[in-house]
Amino acid sequence: MPELPEVETVRRYLDSKLPGDRITAVTVDLPRLIKNRTEDAFRRALTDRVFRAADRKGKYLILRLDGPESLMVHLRMTGRLVFQEDESLPDPPYTRIRFSLERGKLTYGDVRTLGDLWIIPSEGKTGISGYDTLGPDAIGDAFTPDYLYRKLKGTSRSVKAVILDQTVVAGVGNIYADEALFLAGIRPSRHADRVTKAESAKLCDAIRSVMLGSIDAGGTTFRDFLDGAGHEGGNVENLRVYGRDGEPCTVCGTEIQLTKIAGRGTRYCPKCQK
């Protein structure tokens, strides 16, 4: 499931390829992926528009266009945006929407078809509540130790539930929540208001560092993620707890435990994380 680093990996690739290119045609095989327009209105909004930039906040990707409206995408479980310079190449598997460009093509593929595409105003609020209520981006400047400490202090929810809450911090999902809590030495089940100021600072740094480390590795491919060029990411080797339950902790050798917190499978080291 793509989280911030995977979406950022896709964004960087698309931002290096799309700007200046014009959409010449849009083919929609699965209209229900488009959440706030009819298929015809979606095609009309995008055809003949020129890409300006690829932006991201949290797990939302915004492909900015030269007109009053732009395209926003959430990949959810198995969505993929792939750019191919050679339009004669076959579409990647499970392609649901295809954007023909002057210089190649962009396809949206999705095995489980849970992704979302919206047309949004190019400026100002999007009108999409999931986006408009996002907290600061997990690798952005507004996500600071003081900010995180204030958010943790105000609730007795588990610390893991708080960092998974997209209105608190945008972009953290199950993989990087477990990894960051391991790095910070904090048990995922700990009540958020029991996290000290020093630990909050450690957790803030850990969230940023697991995200940036994964972006450097091209994202984490557990099952389905492919980057904007259709390649797998290399971050699985860096994971310390996620997917390693039953294996020895890389720091102390204790067996990594699997439990359920905030409704999600959660891995932690019972010795390193208090």
Give the residues lining the site for Zn ion (CB under 5 A): 249, 251-252, 254, 269, 271-272
Q: Is 3 one of the catalytic residues?
A: yes
Q: Is 59 one of the catalytic residues?
A: yes
Residue 247 CB, nearest distance to Zn ion (Å)? 11
Residue 270 CB, nearest distance to Zn ion (Å)? 8
Report whether 267 contacts 258 (CB < 8 A): yes
Residue 252 CB, nearest distance to Zn ion (Å)? 3
Report whether 182 contacts 213 (CB < 8 A): no
Nearest partner of 157 among 185, 200, 129, 195, judged by Cα: 195
Q: Which residue, 18 or 269, has its beta carbon nearer to Zn ion?
A: 269
59, 96, 160, 240: the active-site residue: 59
Q: Is 264 one of the catalytic residues?
A: yes
Report whether 102 contacts 83 (CB < 8 A): no
Q: Which residue, 198 or 252, has its beta carbon nearer to Zn ion?
A: 252
Q: Which residue is nearest to Zn ion (CB)?
A: 249
Q: Which residue, 261 or 272, has its beta carbon nearer to Zn ion?
A: 272
Three-state DSSP class for 274? coil
Give the span between the Cα atoms of 242 and 185, in whole angstroms.
15
Q: Is 44 one of the catalytic residues?
A: no
B/e letters for 94-120, b = 16+ CB within 10 Å, e = fewer, are bbbbbbbbeebbbbbbbeeeebbbbbb
Residue 5 CB, nearest distance to Zn ion (Å)? 24
Q: Which residue, 172 or 249, has its beta carbon nearer to Zn ion?
A: 249
Catalytic residue positions, numbered? 2-3, 59, 264
